[in-house]
Amino acid sequence: MSTDERSNMLDELQNLLEMQLNLARQDNSAGEQMDVLGTRTEWLVEKITKAGILNRPEFKNQKEKLKELYEQLHLALSAQKAETAEKLSHLRRGKKIVDTYRGNSGRD
């Protein structure tokens, strides 16, 4: 595998991570796109790892950039997960209030 091919793989991985990060920052409606990008990303990471590309000194800068993007993506997804959990909690409380009201309204 040539240096250009290795570099292209890392560039593609960086682009995939950036797209995932942008989707994660948008909203929860991008789930299907995230799955498609995630599948491609996993495949590419496996290929890069097997080839030992990130262990090569000439790719040190790209390795650091990829690490930074991964950390940002992880934070964005964690924030999205927390927001979703909070919304779910609000919905459950609302449902409980409605159920309580319905139970009390029959006693009048």
**In contact, 13 and 54? CB cutoff 8 Å:** no
At residue 29 the predicted structure's pLDDT band, cuts being 50, 70 and 90, is low
The whole-model pTM stands at 0.73
- CA proximity to 16, closest of 46, 2, 36: 36
What one-character DSSP code corresponds to residue 27? -
Residue 59: predicted pLDDT: 94
Per the model's pLDDT, the better-predicted residue between 30 and 64 turns out to be: 64
Q: How confident is the model at residue 81 (pLDDT cuts 50, 70, 90)?
A: confident
Q: Which amino acid is at 96?
A: K
Kindly tell me if the per-residue pLDDT of 106 is higher than 70: no
Q: Do the beta carbons of residue 8 and residue 36 sit within 8 Å?
A: no
Percent of the chain residues past pLDDT 90, beyond the cut = 56
pLDDT given at position 1: 85
41, exposed or middle or buried, with CB in 10 Å at 0-12, 13-18, 19+?
buried
